[in-house]
Amino acid sequence: MAREDIIGRIKEQELLDEYVASGKSEFIAIYGRRRIGKTFLVKQYFDERFDFYITGIFGKSKREQLANFNRQLNKYSGAYYPMVDDWFDAFAQLQHYLDTLRDQQRIVVFLDELPWMDTPRSKFIRALELFWNEWGSSVKNLKLLVCGSATTWITNKLLGDRGGLHNRVTRPIRLSSFTLAETEAFLLKKGFQADRLQMLEGYMILGGTPYYLDMLRPSKSMTQNIDELFYSETAPLRDEYEFLFRALFNDAPTYRRIVESLATCAKGLTKQEIIKHGKLTDNGNLTEALNNLCRCDFLRRYSAFGHKQRDVMYQLVDNYCLFYLRYIKDDNSQDSRRWSHTLNDGARRAWSGYAFEQVCMRHIQQIKHKLGIDDIRTDVCSWQQEGGQIDLVIDRGDRVINLCEMKYSLEPYTITKSYLETMTSRRELFRMASKTTKALHLTMVCPFGIKANAHSRDIQSVVTLDDLYNTI
């Protein structure tokens, strides 16, 4: 049952409902991008009623982590457990305490920021393995929840562990960013009064990251908020970029080089192009980095229409990173109101068009819903060759292909004669190149739709901003 105090996360709450009521021990790992709301979800879902809760401390030593663990153990148990020197003894103490709770309906243990506890040579992961394998997995009312922003640690040492924890995580839950609809509900709940276009602007900059959205002040417009968050003297999101990668990934410089290489090419790059641009080495670490960036929704992996999997493209789709690298990284203007001062800037309009495309890519399900093809098998890809490019191609099982054009406009978009000729030329080029016999539908995705005129009749379908806000 969805909690009223949790915005969105309906599917995740349904999974937690299932796991909590399963009648067996559960090892649940919740992972995702930093600031995405993992801790908030668990705390709100359980109303902060834990039998034991601890959060790791970033950059602290093994002894400091153990001291923190000991304080929490004594707090929750109401007993006195002496400070120990290794994690095996620490988990043995936790087991001793939890054994006294076996008669409860359930025992809820929440280990937050788990990767930060796993300091070098601490043997933390092996102690956790012993705790779960020898005791926890046999306690039917135990629900062990773990979270961590360090995705490489979660995927490699927990979900991908080949030792004693292999396949021991019974329930992984990946948390993604809010949709536009969830963002709207979140902002309205905190008293932010704005129309959907202003919320879209905020989404194009901050993405659907709850922590960033929560920084928006209801007393200010979206433009004023962006100035305050990125350009003011104490701008809280100006330095977020550096810490973001250090907190998420072990090899932060490699991840940044991948992201910054992709920021230079809107359509994306192949793996080999990333290697060349970022001066990287083609090895397993690079493949792992690309996979982890996709898992955290920084990148989109896609194949061009008619191409094989080996020709896969990677595209940067994290809104915050896109905005930071375009407007903040090399900005030395010291203009505290720079965003306000670029309202009519051509470069800002160009950025808005690209950012809007990424928002659309995040809302493919909403686009499909408007097209009435929720239950029809589809393949989503892109297409390009010399003479034409289509960023979003929806190849449908009912013998129709939607060729989608995404245009950011502050009013209904006008289909001119020349633009229609460009679209139809692209369509015919696509038809010849793909040799498809399916019907090709020209589809426009524009915030306020398209203006009715002599040329708009050749557009088969239109998706608006309101459609992107649909809840599915």
241-250, pLDDT tens digit by residue? Answer: 988 888 777 7
Nearest C-alpha neighbor of 408 from the set 204, 268, 182, 181: 204
DSSP state string for 25-86: -EEEEEEESTTSSHHHHHHHHTTT--SEEEE--TT--HHHHHHHHHHHHHHHHSS-----SS
In degrees and rounded to multiples of 5, residue 27 shows phi and psi of: -110, 105
Same structural domain, 184 and 147: no
Q: How far apart are CA 102 and CA 96, in angstroms?
A: 11
337-355, pLDDT tens digit by residue? Answer: 999 998 888 888 888 998 9
> CB–CB of 77/21 below 8 Å?
no
Same structural domain, 267 and 134: no
Strand, helix or coil at 195? coil
* Percent of the chain clearing pLDDT 90 (strictly above): 71
- Determine how β-strand 313-316 pairs with β-strand 269-270: antiparallel
- Which of 362, 382, 404 is the C-terminal boundary of a domain? 362
> CB–CB of 222/198 below 8 Å?
yes
In degrees and rounded to multiples of 5, residue 331 shows phi and psi of: -85, 120
Q: What is the pTM of this model?
A: 0.89
Tokens of residue 299, six digits: 């990148």
In degrees and rounded to multiples of 5, residue 238 shows phi and psi of: -70, -35
Q: Residue 262, class by beta-carbon neighbours within 10 Å (0-12 exposed, 13-18 middle, 19+ buried)? A: buried
Same structural domain, 113 and 201: no
| 282 part of a folded domain | yes
* CATH number of the domain within which 78 lies: 3.40.50.300
| 1 part of a folded domain | no
Total number of domains in the chain:
3
Q: Give the structural domain span for 89.
A: 10-175
* Cα dihedral 206→210→211→213 (10° resolution): 50
| 115 part of a folded domain | yes
Q: How far apart are CA 349 and CA 328, in angstroms?
A: 17
- Which of 315, 340, 362 is the C-terminal boundary of a domain? 362
* CATH number of the domain within which 350 lies: 1.10.10
Same structural domain, 269 and 307: yes
According to the model, what pLDDT value does residue 462 have?
A: 98
According to the model, what pLDDT value does residue 80 have?
A: 97
* CATH number of the domain within which 413 lies: 3.40.1350.10
According to the model, what pLDDT value does residue 386 have?
A: 80
Consecutive 10-residue averages of pLDDT for the chain (472 residues): 78 93 92 89 95 95 98 98 97 98 96 93 94 94 90 76 63 90 94 93 95 95 95 92 82 91 88 92 87 88 71 89 92 89 85 92 96 95 84 94 96 96 95 94 97 96 97 84
Q: How far apart are CA 224 and CA 228, in angstroms?
A: 6
